[in-house]
Structure 1
Amino acid sequence: MRPNSTSAGRTFITGATVVTMDEALGVLEDACVEIVADRIAAIGLPHEGTPAGAADTVIDGRGFIVFPGLVNAHMHTWQTALRSMASNWTLLEYFRWMHAGLGTLFAPEDIGIGTYAGALNQLNAGTTTLVDWCHNNPTAAHTDAAIDALARSGIRAAFFHGSPKPDPAPGQAPFWEVPHPRAEIQRLRADARFGSGGLLSLGMAILGPHYSTLEVALSDFALARELDLTVSMHQGGGPARAPEGWTVLARQGLLGPRVNIVHGNGLSDAQLDRFVESGMSFSITPENEMTQGHGHPIVGRLRDRGVAPSIGVDLESGLSGEMFIAARIAMVHQRALDNAAFRAAATGDAVIPETTTIHTLDALRWATIEGARMLGQQDRIGSITPGKQADLVLIDARLPNMQPVHDPVSTVLMQTSLANIDSVMVAGRWRKRHGALVDDHGRALDPQAWLPALQASGRRLAAAVGWKPAQPKDR
């Protein structure tokens, strides 16, 4: 039965395979998920009986896999109108074209439409929580355009406020000498859009000691600690501007669970040891790290220390926005590194490992539970657990690419594509239903309401910097 509203009310999903990502519940076959308002109320098996009471909506889940909404732990959503433009860039080219060029031309409307379209695409691909690492907001109007777009999309989002990185003009202090804007963060901290219990939360996307002076890093860390905000920073891509920065920050007691490292490819073993001991979190973006020259993703190095990363898409200006693809790439790349290490150490005929080093369940945890942990929201999202928010995905496993389903966990990771994402729910409200994005009233969204503005933004920005697709003769 099709609901006439995107609000769940009281919804039963019956007969589904439920991959809960809850360690105690595991995988349940032919199960019923009960959703009341914005929460998962119960998960039951047929022999336990159907939950008592009438439902507003009963969904026949036979042939479907119910999975927690994905958590995209790192994405620069403002770049959505620039899709494919960065696909052939190294990190140095990205800095030159994006931060010193294209980024300087964004009006608030460009930020708004890019963020809105990017958030819709995340919902379309099964992501229910997006960490929007917005580092192109020179004015409050740019910032507000991004936040309003996230709210309008209906996605659960952590808005991490960053700062632009243009080349300095004559007489102007370079961005790495400029502390994060205290007044702007205080304004956002008091903003009702980030009210307790809502879909939007606030964090800080700072430069960190790799991309700023020590004085700026100390100021930014102290501000985040003062306002009790998660602070996130890129780590990698050339020499650090404050080589002694991490030592000083640790000495001053500014490291801890509310500190998030993005990438981290060039960190030393001693630094990783210190960060893990401090309880810091790590977000990797494997596809872009390997594409742009960051180095190998640090999945294995973290695993060897008993911790796991969250995972993100990073740049839709160069890559797909699909989290299942990012998780698969992270897993198979680390398997390849481990297999190569085994071969290098092997003697005689033992050149093939007897078993794999990373399982599909591990990779799914990076895209769900670990993302929730990075945000400090593991009590709300990341698994299908009674009492948590009803953020979930209905994966159509009846399609030819999924059948037969022998191992639901591996099927979810290795076989799921965009074509299988049938429905997406955020906090008990459908945001995608029967393959179509929907509004608050259950009506399919009209692409003409936003697509022309996205296309116009992308064309204007590309023309302004003279960007054209690279040709073989240009390389």
Structure 2
Amino acid sequence: MKRKLIRGGNVLSMDNQVGSGAMNVLLDGPRIDSVAAGLNVDDAEVIDATGCIVIPGLVNAHMHTWQTALRGIAANWTLPQYFRSVHAGLAALFSPDDLYISTLVGALNQLNCGTTTLGDWCHNNPTPTHTNRAIDGLVESGIRSVFFHGSPKPDPKPGQKHFSEVPHPREEIERLLRSRFAESDTLVTLGMAILGPHYSTYDVSMQDFLLAQEFDLVASMHCAGLEAKTPDGWERLAAVELLGPRTNVVHGNNLTDAQLRMMLERGVTFSLAPETEMQQGHGHPITGRLRDAGYAPSLGADLESSIASDMFTVARVALASQRAFDNEAARTAQGRLPATSTLSCNDALEWITLRGAEALGMASQIGSLTPGKQADVVLVRADTINMRPVHDPVAALIMQASPSNVDTVLVAGEYRKRCGELIYGQLHRRLDELDDSGRRIASSLSERLAAC
């Protein structure tokens, strides 16, 4: 692979030692070689970044990509209706190929929006074929991703156990590790989307944590919304030393401050989805509570069945919601607003780069434009009508940018988007397939409900 020199852009490296400003970025194959002002080489393809802000690829730490065919269906639903209509209804109507097309188009859209790494939380895979086809979609898209293997959440049939009583399928994790994830240098890697103590019995939670620990996989789990199945589960897991940096908690709204501190002390990471949390009724996002404990979260788009999934919007909503809480708290306590905003745009950019890398167990590989890390780079046009004039490039990204500004996306040094065009030759065909899939699933559910 020929070396590439990104020249003439305004670089935000997200690495304090590398710095930011008018610098050039040299990519050598799949890795970043160097970042410096005045850097020039003779044997590299030049990427003209004039008028662009150059950033590390964005990280969407948590998304149920299989729901891409359901876009907008859950836009007016609270959490109980979502559980009832999606997990106990729509999910059961997905064929393996439905999972494939949703995951493929969802991942392509992430690339189009400037996300180069995706935490794909797949919990609608009742058969190995469903799982394989979801992975096929990720691989075909060319995105870097962690495939969090989960399990469906249907209502139990007579004689069946509730899903909270069923351990994660060991045989599937073993099968995936010896087949789809036998190679260590692929863009798609494996994680476990487990129930955790919030949505399972303690015995199930213990077994799932031990399985993830045995194979050194990041174990990610939801913690929010409905009442916890095992309220003291976090303390019990901590007592047997099963909480650590490979533990990822999604949402966390139900946790007490004492639980948060205990988990943070053990290196647990948190992935928040503030827009979904506020809309569906999980509770107030814990962005500020984590900040007050000296920690910063990662962010995820969560549900395209409900909201848009570009990380600029996700970060903007997360920032605005916490500023609103802080402003109201200051008014109540002091009778006046804070002198300045309590969280900065730079904080928000960290949430969707560095902190996302940490949550997915990839801090040494992605999240910043650091020499030696993977060449995941995004060029965002800042010379457009919605961005000029740029007084502060970080503020411009978080407060003004949209997917339309994403000009070029590279993953491991390979183009995924160039000059504003997604590089995928069958996009129109795949979009038609997505339309067909979504309409058939939605109409099937309507027919079922009408027959009841």
**Structure 2 length-normalised TM:** 0.97
1:429 aligns with 2:414: yes
The answer to whether structure 1 residue 95 and structure 2 residue 83 are counterparts is yes
Matched AA of 1:460: R
| Rounded Cα–Cα distance in structure 2 between residues aligned with 1:197 and 1:232 | 22
Matched, 1:15 2:8: yes
Q: Which moved more, 1:196-205 or 1:76-85?
A: 196-205
Residue-by-residue CA offset, 1:401-440 (whole Å, 9 max, x unaligned) = 111111111111111111100111100000011111114x
Among 435, 439, 445, which residue is 1:455 paired with?
A: 435
Q: 1:43 aligns with which of 22, 32, 35?
A: 35
Tell me how far 1:448 sits from its aligned partner: 2.7
2: CA distance, partners of 1:79 / 1:254: 31
CA-CA distance at 1:197 after TM superposition? 2.5
Q: Is the 8 A contact 1:194 1:202 kept in 2?
A: no
Residues 194 and 380 (structure 1), Cα distance of their counterparts in 2 relative to 1, 3 Å cut? farther
Structure 2: which amino acid aligns with 1:15?
G
Partner of 2:358: 373
Q: Evaluate the alpha carbon distance shift between residue 168 and residue 427 of structure 1 in structure 2; reply closer, same or farther with a 3 A threshold.
A: same
The residue type equivalent to 1:463 in the other structure is: S
After superposition, residues 103-182 of structure 1 pair within 5 angstroms as 103-182=91-170
Write the distance in 1 (CA, Å) between the matches of 2:445 and 2:109: 26
Find 2:185's aligned residue among 183, 197, 222.
Answer: 197
Of 271, 278, 282 in structure 2, the residue corresponding to residue 283 of structure 1 is 271
Stretch deviating more after TM superposition (193-202 or 228-237): 193-202
Q: Which amino acid aligns with 1:393?
A: V
The match for 2:384 is 399
Gaps of 5+ in 2: none
Letter in structure 1 aligned against 2:125: N
Rate the CA distance shift 1:193–1:250 in 2: closer, same or farther, 3 A.
Answer: closer
Q: Deviations over 1:221-241 (max 9, x none)?
A: 111111111101000112111
Q: Deviations for 1:13-43, whole angstroms, at most 9, x for unmatched residues? A: 11111111112223222x2111111111111
Note the C-alpha offset of 1:192.
4.6
Local SS of the residue matching 2:342 = coil
More deviation, 193-202/386-395 = 193-202
In structure 2, C-alpha distance between the alignment counterparts of 1:435 and 1:98, rounded to whole Å: 34
Decide whether the 8 Å contact of 1:194 with 1:201 is kept in 2. Answer: no
Corresponding position of 2:401? 416
For 2:43, the aligned partner's letter is A
What are the Cα deviations for residues 367-416 of structure 1, in whole angstroms up to 9, with x where unaligned? Answer: 00001111221111001111111101111111011111111111111111
Does the CA contact (< 8 Å) of 1:115 and 1:146 recur in 2? yes
Q: Given the two structures, how large is their TM-score scaled by the length of structure 1?
A: 0.92
The answer to whether residue 169 in structure 2 is matched with residue 188 in structure 1 is: no
Task: Tell whether 2:67 aligns with 1:79.
Answer: yes
The answer to whether the Cα contact below 8 Å between 1:34 and 1:41 also exists between their aligned partners in 2 is: yes
Letter in 1 for 2:412: A
Q: Which residue of 1 aligns with 2:367?
A: 382
CA 1:161–1:192: 2 relative to 1, 3 Å? closer
1:32 aligns with 2:17: no
Percent of residue pairs bearing the same amino acid type:
55
Which residue in 2 is equivalent to 1:442?
A: none
* More deviation, 358-367/242-251: 242-251
Q: Report how far residue 195 of structure 1 moved.
A: 2.1
Q: Distance in 2 between matches of 1:14 and 1:104?
A: 49
Q: Distance in 1 between matches of 2:5 and 2:227?
A: 54
Q: Secondary structure at the match of 1:466?
A: helix
The one-letter amino acid paired with 2:432 is: P
Q: Which residue does the alignment assign to 1:446?
A: 426
2:224 partner letter: G
Aligned to 1:308: 296
Question: In 1, Cα distance between the equivalents of 2:386 and 2:18?
Answer: 27
The answer to whether the 8 Å contact 1:128/1:156 transfers is yes
Letter in 2 for 1:397: A
Inter-partner Cα distance in structure 1 for 2:311 and 2:208 = 30
1:48-71 per-position Cα deviation (integer Å, ceiling 9, x unaligned): x523x321x212211111111000
The 8 Å contact of residues 194 and 200 in structure 1, kept in 2 or not, is answered as no
One-letter amino acid of the counterpart of residue 234, structure 2: W
Post-superposition CA distance 1:254-305 (Å, at most 9, x none)? 1111101000001011111110111100000011001101111101000111
Question: What is the deviation of 1:88?
Answer: 0.5
Distance (whole Å) between structure 2 residues aligned to residue 222 and residue 32 of structure 1? 45
Q: Distance in 2 between matches of 1:466 and 1:192?
A: 36
Structure-2 separation of matches of 1:227 and 1:102: 32
> Which of these residues, 182, 201, 205, is aligned with residue 213 of structure 1?
201
CA deviations on 1:174-208 (whole Å, 9 max, x unpaired) are 11110000000111122354522221111100011
Q: CA deviation at 1:244?
A: 2.2
Range 119-128 or range 241-250, more displaced? 241-250
- Hey, what's the Cα distance between the residues in 2 that align with 1:121 and 1:310? 20
What is the RMSD of the two structures over their aligned residues, measured on CA atoms?
1.3
Offset of residue 457 of structure 1: 0.6
Deviations 1:293-339 (A, max 9, x none): 11111010001111111000000111101011000111111111111
Secondary structure class of the residue paired with 2:158: coil
AA paired with 2:355?
A: E
DSSP 3-state at the match of 1:450: helix
How many angstroms apart in 2 are the aligned matches of 1:194 and 1:38?
20
Aligned residues: 448
Q: Which amino acid aligns with 2:40?
A: T
Deviation at 1:354, TM superposition (A): 0.9
